[in-house]
Amino acid sequence: MDYIATSILGGELDKMLLTTDKKVEEKCQFYVKDNIIYIVYGIFPDKKGKWILEQMAKYYSELVRGKDVDNLPKLEKRNIDHKFKGLIKFMLNEYLSLQEVFTDQEIPYVEDWIRVDYLGLSSMSIGVISLLLDEQGNLNVDVPGEYDNPAEEIEMKESLLTAKIEAIAANTLGNTGSYPRWIAVKLGFQKYRFLTFKKYQHDYFLSFLSEGNLKKIELVEKKVEPYLYHGIDAPFVGNLRPFNKLKASVKDVINHFPGRKFI
């Protein structure tokens, strides 16, 4: 997930919200230090998750200082794992004693807009609409080979994006039993890029690659949804013709907003 998400979004993997068909939501928060990815998974506000991750990285860095963590003997790896679990228990006890220090307020977004760079609609991991809107190179999409015209290159980029996004969704669902509502990567101080998913009837998923303020993603979804409903009112059976018409309509809707920014 770190490789796929950061290769598309061009930032540092930061957070993910998971949801189930029963509307249960749980959060993953990530922290990368010295090429080691630390993960905390559960229900917690951002600031509390960030504190846990920083403490994990601090303790683990001390345990592996001067060691090649990719080539540790099994016995040494098991000893480090045993010591780390003990430190985690200590850290969580500290966390509980510091509950009053943390607030439940989420970290605010700097931007007051959200910009859409890609839209996708899929059914059973099959892309039925792939729409690349990014003209400024905000997304990191390189495709091999040479193309006779820009339209062919855009089509290849759309196919590549769709394949990567479907891989993220399928891998997450397979490993957690939940699908990601959103995945966030950090570009800078309180600046984020997002991969979002929303599930509809007949197992259709609408996905966006966007940048700005995540709280505004529902505004974008509500603008697009009316154009999708007569295409997703039945299970997908392999006919892409009606979705090709939808693609043009959805593109017009999003491009109607200056700079594809929804405020």
Q: What are the pLDDT digits (tens) for 94-120?
A: 888 776 666 566 667 889 999 999 999
Does 7 or 137 have the greater pLDDT score? 7
Contact 177, 13 (CB under 8 A): no
Q: Residue range 212-234: average pLDDT?
A: 92
Instruction: State the CATH architecture for 114-262.
Output: 2-Layer Sandwich (3.30)
Q: Nearest 5°: phi and psi at 152?
A: -65, -40
Q: Where are the domains of the chain?
A: 2-97, 114-262
Nearest to 172 by CA among 137, 133, 212, 207: 207
pTM, to two decimals = 0.87
For the segment 45-87, what is each residue's pLDDT rounded down to a tens digit?
888 888 899 999 999 999 999 988 888 899 999 999 999 999 9
pLDDT for 24 = 85
Which distant-in-sequence residues (6+ apart) come within 8 Å of 183 by Cβ? 1, 5, 13, 15, 16, 168, 194, 195, 196
- Band the pLDDT of 44: cuts 50, 70, 90: confident
Percent of the chain with pLDDT over 90: 44
